[in-house]
Each structure stands twice: as C-alpha cells, then as structure tokens.
Structure 1
Amino acid sequence: MFDRIAELAIRRSRLVLVVAAVAVVLMGALGAGAFGKLLPGGFDDPSSQSSRARTVITDKFGGESNLVLLVRAPEGGVDAASARQQGKELTAGLKEEKTVANVISYWDTGNPDLRSEDGEQAMVLAHVKGGDTKERENAKEIIDEYTGAGDGGLTVEAGGSAAVGDDMGTYSSEDLVLAETIALPLTLLLLLFVFGSVVSALLPLAIGLIAIVGTFAELFLLGSVASISITATNLTTALGLGLGIDYALLMVSRFREQLAKGASVDDAVRHTVHTAGRTVAFSAATVAVALAALLVFPQYFLRSFGYAGVGVVAIAAVSTLFVMPALLNVLGHRVNKGRLPWAGRTERHDDSRVPFWGRLARTAMRRPALTALPVLAVLLLAASPLLGISIGIADERSLPEDAASRQVSARLAENFNGSDAAAVHVVMDESVGTAPLGSYAGRLSRLDGVVRVEASTGTYTGGQAAAPGPRNAALGRPQAQRINVVSDLAPMSDAAQDLVKDVRAVAAPEGTEPLVGGRDAALVDSKDSITGLIPLAGGLIALTTFVLLFLFTGSVVQPLRALVLNIASLGAALGVMTWMFQDGHFSDLFGFTPQPMEVSMTLLMFCIAFGLSMDYEVFVTSRIKELHDQGADNETAVVDGLGHTGRIVSAAACLLAVSFFAFGTAGISYMQMFGLGSGLAILIDAVAVRGVLVPAAMRLLGRSAWYAPPFLRKVHDRVGLSEGGHEPAPVAERTYEKDPTGV
C-alpha cells in the first residue's frame, strides 16, 4: 500500500493537489453550516429513569420547567398594582408563544413559593419546546424577546436549564474563536522556530487546516441526522490543528533528513512514505481507537467527541499520507526555502555529539533507578489528589460568574423557599387513586431536606397536607400523576443526590412504577451510566491498543510497557486537574468556581490524552524498532532512536499543547479543565515518559523488551505491519539534524 501511495505522489503529485484543493473547498462549504446543526447539552442517558421521566412529563404535562424568568419589581414589590398588571401581561404574552408550554407564574397562581422572601422578585416558569434539536434556538428567541428592563419598570432575567444551555452555546462559540486567535499565531511562531524555514513551517498548517475543515463537514452531515454536541467543535480545532502538525512534522523532518543525506527527491519521498508514513498510519490508528471508545456511551455529548475525534484523526492521517508527499515532491529542495537566520544546517556528529534527547536516553539507560525513581515519585505525588476525587455533571457553575443564567440560579437559591427549577420530579404514567397518591406524597415530604411536596391532592410539608390550589390541579391527569419534591439542598450536592436515592426508595402506591427525574436525578443516572461503562471502554482501549502495538513491534512486552507508563502520566495530569478544579487551587487566576470534576470531560480528557500518548509512543518506538531490526544492540537502538525522534516528539508535543492550552482562556470551566489537562498530559508524556521512563524501562527489560511467544511471532511475521524502512542507512552512520532550538 505504501509503495502505491509513494508512486502516486511522485507520478501524479499535481493531480493529487488539485483534487485535494477541490475537496477542501467542498468540505468548507458544508462545514460552514455545522454550527447551525449542533446542540448544547447531551449529558443525559436517554434510557435512564430520569430521561424517561422527562419524556412522560413532556408528553402528559407539557414538559418540565426548563426556563425561569426572574422578575424584579421597582418600589412597592411584586404585589404593587402596576407590577401585578405588568406581570400578568408578561405571563399572557408568554402563553401565546407557540414554542412555550406549561407557563406558571406568581401572578396567575398567587403561590407564595413563587415569590421571594423580600417581596421584590417573582418567578414565571415555562417549558420551552423543541427537545434536543430546537430547544436552544427557541429558548434564545424567548430570552431575547422577554428579558431586559421593561417600560413599566419590571426587570426580567432568564435562568433554568434552557437559559444555561443557551449561555453555554454562546460561550462555547466565543471560546473557540478566542482559542484559535491565540493558538494559530503561537503555533506558526513555534513552527518557524522548529523548522527554521518558512516553507517547511507552513506545510503542517496546511494539513491541520484540511483536518479541521474536513471534520466540520463531517459534523454538519452527522448533525443533520443525529444529535451532536456543539462542544465537539472545540475538540475539532484543537485536535485537528495539533495532529495535522504532529503528522506533518514527522513527514517533513524525515524528508529533509533524506535530502540532507544526498537522496534524490523521488527517493526521499519514497523513504518518507515508507517510514514516517507508516508511523503516521499506526499512530492515527492508536489515537482513533482511544477516541472510538467514547461511542460505547449513550450520552450524545460523549458520542459527539467520538465522532469528531475519529473523524479528525482519519482526515489528518489521510491528508498527511496523500497530500503531504505530493507537496514534498512538488517542492523538492525548495522545502527549505525561506531559511531563517537561526536555522542550523544538517551536520554529522560522532558519539560525543549525540543530541540532547539521545544523551538523556543514554543516562537513563545507564542509571535507570537513579533517573526513573524520582520521576515516578513526582508522578505519583501529582496523581495523589485522585484519591479524593468526586464527580458531577455540567451545570450553571461551569459558566463565568457574570453569566446571566448563573446569576439567576444564585438568586433563586438565596431568595426563594426552595427552587422549583431544581426539584425532584416523580411521575407515574398510570391512574392513581386520591388516597394512595396523598399518602405517597406525605411520605415523600418527611424525607430529610424536603421543603414541600406538590401533588394534585395538595401541597405537603412534614407529612401534613394543605388544600390543593390551581397549581396542584395541573399536576394530575386521568392516566398520569406528577409530584414535585422541592428541597433546600444545594443542587448537584452529595445531599441532593442522596435525596434522589431516598425518593426512589420510598414505597410507591400499589400497582405503580414511579419514574424519578429532575436535575439531581439526571446527575445520579449519568454517573451510574458512565461509570458502569468505563470498564468496557477501558477494556476496549487496552485490548485494541495492545493488538495494534503488537502488530507494530512484534513484541507482547512493548504494549504492556506502553500501557503502564501511559497510565502513570495520565494519572499525574488528572490528579493535577483535580487539585485545581475540584480543590480550588488557582481558581482566582483562571476565574472558575471549584466543583466536582465534570464526569464527561474527565473521561474525554483521559481518552484524548491516552490516544496522544500512544501517538508519541509510536513515533519513538518506530525509530527504535527500525534500528533494532537493522541489528543495533538495545542501548544503541534506544539512544539513536530517541536522538532522531526526541526533538520531533518534544516539538510536536509543544505545538499540540499550545492548541489545548489555548482553551485555558475559555469561559466554561470544564473546557478550561479539558484544555489545561490535555496539554499538561501531553507535555508530561513527551518529557518525563519518552525522555526518561521509556529508556529506563528498556534498560531494565533488556532483550526481553522484544519478546513474543513463538506462535505470536508467526502471526506477526504473517500479518504484522511494523516499520521496515526503505533503503535504510547503516547503523554505524548517525546523522542528526541539528536542532536550531538547542534542545
């Protein structure tokens, strides 16, 4: 296959580039509409009890109250004649909206629970229709029309899950633009610094652009037929730019190395495709496997990252394998055009002039305990906060403090006697007698933390019932009943989650199967769903990675060594993020609110960082294996392999980390965590693992590092695809491209 790719690039290079240009234009036209197809949210398991409860409430009761309009009145409070008149007009107008249902307001019902304790604020609750596909769009229209300061003096602000979703979508788009504005110039400067040539520096950006544009087109197509999270765009840009640069960096470096050895352009292209191209193919497979594991989860938020991640990896790899060789063939020696003053020239060095990464590898191999144990100690210390990790799902606390929906949520918690928006919803999709229903609601009202329980039979407090009012009547249907359990517990807290479990444990009326929903119930169900599937996802990642690395190396020890070392570096990065985002360190600097680790983004960060760690594992191991197959002893293969690849890996890691670190400026805290954590994991892996732990482990393993049982050796000989090289240079001849950075 690689022979045909190389010959296609040499014989039909201009045709390949024309086809690629046309494809980019078409993908760009499709991708431009991606944002209109993507959705906020997606954190819930659609088959969970809370999701089924929401479906019944939507079908039978007009939907949960996902929009809260918080109305502040001028002097005289919400009971003044003018405020009452304006409040009724606001309510009537909202009821006329076709995209809104189940409107409940203080002025319609007179319910004191919808009035603040100081009498200056009141709530209007509503359900914005549209489900996953139209809810954000419809909510935005309602929020834009009804919020702000009115002519009569009322001030209206929007809260609730629909408003939070709208704010998250807005901040996500803004974060993406800001991250790109930061990452692209810095990336270009770093590429110029690494390559020392303008033309060489622009080539990786071209591959990154193709990967991003292509994946946006993929998201547009998928978003037209399935629910895709808008946050997937952030991953697309960071990973597309980073992987495009990673793969192109490897190809360009190998091509320039061959030209420096005196190879013709055609031979340099062939050698580059056979060696670096093969490495790119395997590297992409390992990253794609890690991201494909996200597809086992039912939440479309996670599945979206699986679709986007696998797509961006595949497009980056394909464009690197086909477009990059064609570009290199057309450019030839002009790949070094635009050489900058600090650029070094290719030189030959003897053993005493081995590059830094080769010297570091030699030191680690000769003193494995002295070099590896301190590194392992630091990684374990960094990972220690994981012992106290707690997990949650995204809510308004993920937004900046000045976000309108977050401010509304804070005022609801401070000024109202329990928030209806955070209530636990119990729904029974069958007929229930008055006496059993009242008895059940009374038992629910005795649970710890419950302020009141609202049912069609009345409002219950401490087991005692008050007469039903207009609002209570709306909770009953001939063939369905709905109960709201309102508490004074902090939303998403451990106590609120315990309340959900307590509600589910209360004996239900005979012959009924209540469904318990609401925000806290969704958190409980999401945690159970995700944690229950993590062993399956982890097992798939480990198994497929093991198989791929075995096919690449022919060893059963190398995959195990790679898995163990990658887990060590990932644990350190996750531990640091827990120390920051859960325990609150540097919260003032980055402007986030400490809270439990967002379960979906933590899992995503693990998969991304694991895949990229394996990316660099393949980069390094490919060169070591190439030298080993040429007959080099263990130390020479490792030292020379890292001498060749260490600078490439470190440069690629820095470039990719910049793409992720740019999201440290995000307004949404879980995007900050994802960006900072992924960038940190990449740097830890490139420096501590590849630079120190890999050579130390190779020294301790010795010849057993390449062990495989005889029957597996036969399998590898038949189907293995390890890099064999093309016209390899003699082992004794060590040629290094001088690093202009001095690294």
Structure 2
Amino acid sequence: MGRLTTSDLIYIAYNYPACRSGMTSNVSYIDTRKEYMLYTWGKIVYRWRWLILGIWMMILILAVPLGSLVTEELSSGFGRTNTESQRGLDVLDQDMGLTQSSVTVVYKSETSVYTDRDYKDEVARSLQNLASALPEVAGVMTPYNTGDPYMVSSDGKTIYVVVQLDQSLDDAMDGMGNLRDNLHSDSLSVWTTGGIPIFYDMNIVSEHDLRRAETVAFPLVMIVLIIVFGSLIAAGLPLMMGACSIVVTAALIYGLAQFTDMSLFVLNIATLLGLGVAVDYSLLVVNRFREELAKHDTENAIAITMSTAGKSVIFSAITSVLGLSGMLLFDFMMLRSLGIGGVTVMILSLSVALTLLPASISLLGPRVNSLRIFPTISGMRNFYFWHRLASWVMRHPLRVTVPLMLFLLVLGTPFLRVNLGAPWANILPEDVESRQGFDVLSEDIGHGEAGPIIIVYTSPTSVFEANNINALYEMTQNLSSNPAVGRSESIFSLYPGFTLTEYQERFADNLSQVDPISKQIISTYANSNATYIKVVPSFEIMSDETKELVRSIRAYEYGGDMTRYVTGGTADLMDSIEVIYGSFPTAVMFVLVSIYIALLLLFKSVVLPMKAVIMNGMSIFATYGAVVLIFQDGYFQSLLGIDTLGYVDAVLPVVLFCITFGISMDYEVFLLSRVKEIYDETGDNTSSVAYGLEKTGRIITSAALIMVLVCGSFALADIVIVKMFGIGLGLAILIDATLVRALLVPALMRIMGDFNWWAPFINNKKRPGTS
C-alpha cells in the first residue's frame, strides 16, 4: 500500500483500538463522560425502558383511530387570502347574494342537439331528480331558462348548466359525492366540474396517491436497510419507527384540523417526511449503537449512542424544524398547513429517536443483530473506501471544487427563466370526472367559459348614477376592442344597440324606466350598490394572454364613484402567487439566519455554518433548474411518465427550499459532528475530515438513498403537484448527498484548512478529560 501517512495512522488508531499498542501518539479514544446530559438521558431510557414502551403503546392505540379520520377534516383548495380577488368574491357573495358554492354540470350527446325534445327532457329530468334529492340546491341556470346561447357549443351537442348550492364551500365539498350520485342520465354523457368538483377529486386522488406511495416505499426502504445492516431485526427497527411517526402525526394533524384549516396535501408531506426522516434518524442511532455494543455493555452503549448520535439527531431535527418553520410565515393556508404538518412530524421523529428507539434497542441488546441474512461488508473494505475517497478529494481539492460548482450553477440557470403557474384541473389524471368535464367544456364551448374574469364594482350611492354608468360603459367598450376578450356580459347586454346617453336615461332613478321583466334580468348583474362585468377570455385560464388581460384590466383607469375588484380563476391564482412571493424573501432570510445560528452553536465555528448554507443554496438552485427542464420544458417526460405543464407550480420552489434546506442539513450535521469529535481531540483538519467521512459516508449514502426512494414513490402519483414535489425533492437530496456532501464539502474543508474552525468570539474550550 506504500508508506502510511499521519492521516492513515490516526485513521487506524480510531477504527482499530488494538492497533494503538505501542503508538506514541497523544491520540486518545473518545470517552463520553457521564456528566453530559444526553449520556445521562441514555441511562434513564435504559432504566425505564419498559415504562417508555408502555407509554408509546398507549399513544399508538389512541392515535390509530384518530389518524384514520384525518382525511375527513382536511381542506381542499388553498385557503382564503386578503387579496383583491378574494375581496371581489366577498362582494359577489355578501352584497349580491351570488353564492360561491356552485357546480358546473356539462351535458353532451353524440347524436342529438340541445333543442331536440329528447335532449331537453333528459336534462330536465336529470336536474329535477337532483333538486328533489338535495334540498340545498338553491337554483339552476341553464340555456333553456336563461336563453344564453354561450352555454351551448357551436354544434349544439354540448351544453353546461350551473347548479347553485345554498351551503358553505366546505359543506358543498362534503356533499359532492352525494350530488354526483343523484345526477345521472340514461342517454347523455354528464360530468361535474368547476372549483368544488375539482378539489373534491384532488382529495380522492391524493389519498389514493398516498396509499400507493406507502405501498411502494416500505418494501424498498426495507431492502436498503437489510443491505445496510445485514440483519432483519436491525433493518426492521428504523422502518417501525417511521411507521409510528406517521401514525401519531396523522392523529395530531386530526387534532390540529379542529382549530385551523389544514390542506389535503399535508398528509403527503407528513408521510414523506415521517417515513424518510424517522428512518434516517433511526438509521444513525442503530448504526452507532451497534458500533458501541462491540466495545461496551448494552447500558453504556445506549448512553454513549445518545450522547453522540443523539446529539446529531437533535441538531438535525432543529435545522429541519427551522427550515420547515419558514412556511409558517406565509399568509397562505396551503403553505402554512404544510409547515405545521412538517414541523409536527419532525418533532415526532425526534421524540421517537430519543425515546421509543433507544428503549427498543435497550431490550434487544446484542439481539439487535439477530436474524442475520448475510454478513455486512467488512469494516476495512467498507470504511476504508470512504477514507480513501476523502483523502483523494483533499489531495485534489481544486479539481473537484471548480468543475462541480460550475456544473451546479449551469444546471440551475434554467430557473432564471421559470414560468410560475398555479394548479387547476389539468393537474388531475385525464380519467377523473372533473378533469374530463373541464376538458369537454374547454374544447366544445371555449376555454374562457371554464374560467371567466369577473370585474366587480361597488358604489356608496348607486351604480346606476350617470357618472357610474359612463365609467362602466367605457370599460365594456375597452374590453370589446381587446383581442384577448372573447365576449363580455353586463347590465348593457340587455340593450346591446343603445348609446351611452340611452343607457343613462334607461337606468336613471334606480331603474324606474325599466319594465319588471327587464329589471329581473338586470338584477342578475347588479343591484343598487354593486354590479359586475363577466369577461370570457379567448385563451386558457393561466395562459400568458389571459394573465396579461387581467393586468390590463387592473391597470385601466376607471371613473365614477366606485371601487373596483378584479376576480375570477385567473386573478385569484395570480394573487395567490403574489402573496406567496411577497413573503418568500422573509422566509428565506429567517431560514438562513436561524439555521446558521444553530450550526454556529453546534460546531463552534463561524466558517462551517456559512459553508453549509452556501452549499445548500447551490444544491437547491441546481434542483430548481432541473425541475424547470423537466416540468416546464418537457425533458425526460416520456421516461418519467409526465405531461409537460409549461410552468412550475408556484408553491414548489417555496416548499422545496424550506424542506430541502432543513433535510440536507441533516447530512451536514451527521458528517461534521463526527469530524468535530476528532478535530477536538487531534487538531488535524485533514485526518478529521477523512475519519468523519469514513464513519458517516455509508450512513449518509444509505439515508439519502432511503429519502430518494421515498420521494420516488411519490413521483408515481397521479396528481402532478405531488409528482413534481416527489421528483424535485428526490433530485435535491440526490445532488446534495452525492456531489455536495461526498465531494464538495471535503474539498472545501481541505482548501480552508484550520480556517474551517475559526471562531474568534466563541469559547471553544475542549470538554473536560479530552487530550
């Protein structure tokens, strides 16, 4: 092998104590002292192991039935926001009595047209059955009772009707299944679509995706753990801990949902993190316990494991919680609930790793290695690979650092042209009813019918005053000349040939000049204090043209004594994006600063936390670019089984940042905790890094592989948002654990040398009893 270096001698001394005989080095084996809090905690857990297991058993017995009810308490949609579009919806609901709870029903015949008697009778019979079965049906708007030709396709074979419900959105969601059961036809194809059916279907498909992900992930993770440990008992423990975390988290989410809105996607996040992180923490603890068990009895092995691996797990959980807490800063129900769910599952995973897991292995003791399937790779062959890798990287730090950093920066550049969008029916599979109805409505009748823009006006006096009529008239004239507008409907639709003067005269004195029948029609669009203009765009709901149309309407200077709100599907989604990215810089700053401080306290170094933050930022930036290439540009879509959306969901960069920044710090903590143990003893930066990577390389790689497999199981989801998140997070972890943690971190630590540990204003005094 050639001449042994000082680094090799230190490596051998720390891994093979028997080889230290006769060595004159002042290196001493790390001896964890009883006075340390976590050492004492390990002793307590060992002593009270039966009690701890009994408490967890009772918790699980209570959690299982509560967790099974959680999906019924979760909210669809993305929650209320204090935006212009939401205020416009409130005016329509509260001032004009236009309920937000409505369902669009699409009818289609392959042979008949809507004016045929059999077509008309079948629609009437279908709607009559619905109204008889559901007393909450407040009204139905059809092309027959409104005479609206725009509710009919050009060939007359497809129509849509609007069923108005006298109930809240949540109640309407709960009753969606019953509505569908009572809405059917023997001769016509019928679909329900619109906001309520779409989010109802999201709930159902999301739950199905969750079950499938669990079914795929559990056996894959078990295979990896068996390969890592070689023993069924040791491999089964982390998986059991992950399952416990998921079950108890679901019960806690059920409880939280009684007090605050929780998004239906919170279960996907909780399952992914619960399985991935709890298994990772357990992997670290079980691995360290097996190491210590070779040198100590069970009680002391538990105590030492808690004071070493336990410390790493605590700080890993802290960084993850800080990252996930960034989502709590958003005034956006979906993100806030994902943050709550994520923080909850992280705290649960930490609790499991510090109580249930050590209590379990205390009972097992040496039997943790029972049911061995095959022997693990020998220590010298397995560990020395990582030592040699780190040594090679540190001999050629610039060769590693420069090309890898350039690669990460280049991979991230597509994110600079990201097109942020928001989900609608197109994120659902094509065989789902609301998606089918949306597609038929868009293709047969028009894209704009599926997502109109609503311009709402309110007046403290009367919208029918001459100056207000003038402002409204000018707005409709401006819209009629805009090529992005298919058509518009308003109080002026009743008299399409009138001049402005004629409108002012007809609407004067609060409609005193209007006959009763015309008044009834006008009341559809206005009352004395509020009115709206319905704008049907010529393009899809989130197309660039439709978004630009919303911006131009909002920029148009209107006169009169009125307040204006622009709402509707496109405006609402645009406002949601604005709310999210208005808070994103604050969340980023909170996560960066808080994690930096946490790592500063752990490593007693000013430089290492800064390096960790920068490296995480680079891996996330590279992941962002990869997501744009896949989901926006369509690369690898056939390989991954996805349809190109043409945009990246606006929530994804926020969720990826908060979760990845916390999770990837786990691997940094796992690695540098071991490095610091040796550096505190030896003061040798190079050998400390080699030892740290040698001891944690296999665990970090295994933990990352487990997270990638768990994320990959979510990449099989039918909902594109979940698929996008699974692929994005899996890529982030893969990049971080391979390129960043295994190569860039050792290379940079070699370049910076002892400057890694620079901390001029921190008391970095060694612990008592160390050399």
Secondary structure at the residue paired with 2:540?
coil
2:219 is matched with: 185
Q: Distance in 2 between matches of 1:120 and 1:432?
A: 38
Which letter does structure 2 place at the counterpart of 1:598?
Answer: D
Which deviates more, 478-487 or 287-296?
478-487
2:56 is matched with: 20
Residue 132 to residue 542, structure 1, CA distance change in 2 (3 Å): farther
2:708 is matched with: 657
Alignment of 1:125 onto 2:162: yes
Secondary structure at the residue paired with 2:715?
helix
Alignment partner for residue 228 of structure 1, among 259, 262, 277?
262
User: C-alpha deviations, 1:124-147, integer Å up to 9, x for none?
Assistant: 013445545333222332223214
Q: Distance in 2 between matches of 1:317 and 1:617?
A: 17
Deviation at 1:471, TM superposition (A): 5.4
Q: Distance in 1 between matches of 2:559 and 2:126?
A: 39
1:339 is matched with: 372
2:400 is matched with: 371
Which deviates more, 172-181 or 395-404?
395-404
Alignment partner for residue 558 of structure 1, among 608, 620, 632?
608
1:629 is matched with: 680
- Equivalent residues in 2 for 1:222-621, closer than 5 Å: 222-260=256-294, 262-344=295-377, 347=379, 349=380, 354-417=383-446, 419-430=448-459, 431-433=462-464, 435=466, 436-437=468-469, 438-439=472-473, 440-458=475-493, 472-589=522-639, 590-621=641-672
Deviation at 1:564, TM superposition (A): 0.8
Q: Distance in 1 between matches of 2:265 and 2:674?
A: 36
Which letter does structure 1 place at the counterpart of 2:70?
Answer: A
Which letter does structure 1 place at the counterpart of 2:150?
Answer: D
Which letter does structure 2 place at the counterpart of 1:481?
Answer: T
Deviation at 1:592, TM superposition (A): 2.4
Secondary structure at the residue paired with 1:477?
coil
Q: Distance in 2 between matches of 1:353 and 1:300?
A: 47
Q: Distance in 2 between matches of 1:523 and 1:390?
A: 14
Residue 646 to residue 675, structure 1, CA distance change in 2 (3 Å): same
Residue 200 to residue 193, structure 1, CA distance change in 2 (3 Å): same
Alignment partner for residue 235 of structure 2, among 201, 216, 228?
201
Contact 2:106 2:192 in 1 (8 A): yes
Deviation at 1:14, TM superposition (A): 0.8
Residue 504 to residue 92, structure 1, CA distance change in 2 (3 Å): farther
Q: Distance in 1 between matches of 2:101 and 2:635?
A: 35
Which letter does structure 1 place at the counterpart of 2:56?
Answer: A
Q: Distance in 2 between matches of 1:460 and 1:371?
A: 74
Secondary structure at the residue paired with 2:313?
helix
Which deviates more, 426-435 or 461-470?
461-470
Residue 727 to residue 126, structure 1, CA distance change in 2 (3 Å): farther
Deviation at 1:586, TM superposition (A): 2.5
Which deviates more, 609-618 or 373-382?
373-382
Contact 1:70 1:121 in 2 (8 A): yes
Alignment of 1:10 onto 2:41: no
1:736 is matched with: none
Task: Give structure 2 stretches of 5+ with no counterpart.
Answer: 1-36, 507-517
- Equivalent residues in 2 for 1:105-184, closer than 5 Å: 105-128=142-165, 130-147=167-184, 150-151=185-186, 153-184=187-218
User: C-alpha deviations, 1:90-122, integer Å up to 9, x for none?
Assistant: 445555644344531111112100010011011
Alignment partner for residue 37 of structure 1, among 73, 76, 81?
73
Q: Distance in 2 between matches of 1:289 and 1:464?
A: 62
Q: Distance in 1 between matches of 2:637 and 2:286?
A: 41
The structure whose Rg is larger is 2
1:640 is matched with: 691
1:739 is matched with: none
Residue 301 to residue 353, structure 1, CA distance change in 2 (3 Å): closer
User: C-alpha deviations, 1:636-668, integer Å up to 9, x for none?
Assistant: 100000100111000001011111110111101
Deviation at 1:472, TM superposition (A): 4.7
Q: Distance in 1 between matches of 2:498 and 2:420?
A: 33
Which deviates more, 437-446 or 536-545?
437-446
Secondary structure at the residue paired with 2:482?
coil
Alignment of 1:77 onto 2:113: yes
Alignment of 1:671 onto 2:716: no
Deviation at 1:249, TM superposition (A): 0.5
TM-score norm. by structure 2 comes to 0.88
Deviation at 1:593, TM superposition (A): 3.5
Secondary structure at the residue paired with 2:182?
helix
Contact 1:442 1:463 in 2 (8 A): no
Q: Distance in 2 between matches of 1:244 and 1:460?
A: 67
Alignment partner for residue 738 of structure 2, among 683, 687, 692?
687
Q: Distance in 1 between matches of 2:617 and 2:526?
A: 53
Q: Distance in 2 between matches of 1:491 and 1:459?
A: 27
Deviation at 1:569, TM superposition (A): 1.0
Q: Distance in 2 between matches of 1:331 and 1:557?
A: 41
- In the comparison of the two structures, how many residue pairs are matched? 711
Contact 1:87 1:107 in 2 (8 A): no
Contact 2:40 2:303 in 1 (8 A): no
Secondary structure at the residue paired with 1:36?
helix
1:740 is matched with: none
Which letter does structure 2 place at the counterpart of 1:371?
Answer: V
Contact 1:297 1:530 in 2 (8 A): yes
Contact 2:455 2:534 in 1 (8 A): yes
Residue 391 to residue 328, structure 1, CA distance change in 2 (3 Å): same
Q: Distance in 2 between matches of 1:250 and 1:82?
A: 70
Residue 406 to residue 470, structure 1, CA distance change in 2 (3 Å): farther
Which deviates more, 233-242 or 470-479?
470-479
Which deviates more, 642-651 or 118-127?
118-127
Q: Distance in 2 between matches of 1:279 and 1:460?
A: 74
Q: Distance in 2 between matches of 1:98 and 1:54?
A: 24
TM-score norm. by structure 1 comes to 0.91
2:19 is matched with: none
User: C-alpha deviations, 1:179-231, integer Å up to 9, x for none?
Assistant: 11100111111111111011101110121112101110111011122211111
User: C-alpha deviations, 1:369-399, integer Å up to 9, x for none?
Assistant: 1122222232223212212211011111111
Q: Distance in 1 between matches of 2:383 and 2:258?
A: 54
Deviation at 1:537, TM superposition (A): 0.3
2:90 is matched with: 55
Which letter does structure 1 place at the counterpart of 2:208?
Answer: E
Task: Give structure 1 stretches of 5+ with no counterpart.
Answer: 731-743
Which letter does structure 2 place at the counterpart of 1:2?
Answer: L
Q: Distance in 2 between matches of 1:242 and 1:625?
A: 26
Q: Distance in 2 between matches of 1:395 and 1:464?
A: 40
Deviation at 1:460, TM superposition (A): 9.0
Residue 165 to residue 129, structure 1, CA distance change in 2 (3 Å): farther
Which letter does structure 1 place at the counterpart of 2:112?
Answer: G
Contact 1:455 1:483 in 2 (8 A): yes
Residue 343 to residue 532, structure 1, CA distance change in 2 (3 Å): same
Deviation at 1:251, TM superposition (A): 0.5
Which letter does structure 2 place at the counterpart of 1:443?
Answer: N
Contact 2:456 2:533 in 1 (8 A): yes
Which letter does structure 1 place at the counterpart of 2:710?
Answer: S
Deviation at 1:277, TM superposition (A): 0.5
Residue 618 to residue 417, structure 1, CA distance change in 2 (3 Å): closer
Deviation at 1:411, TM superposition (A): 2.3
Residue 144 to residue 642, structure 1, CA distance change in 2 (3 Å): same
User: C-alpha deviations, 1:542-568, integer Å up to 9, x for none?
Assistant: 010011000001111111100111111
Contact 2:253 2:341 in 1 (8 A): yes
User: C-alpha deviations, 1:576-607, integer Å up to 9, x for none?
Assistant: 11101111123234132423100113321222
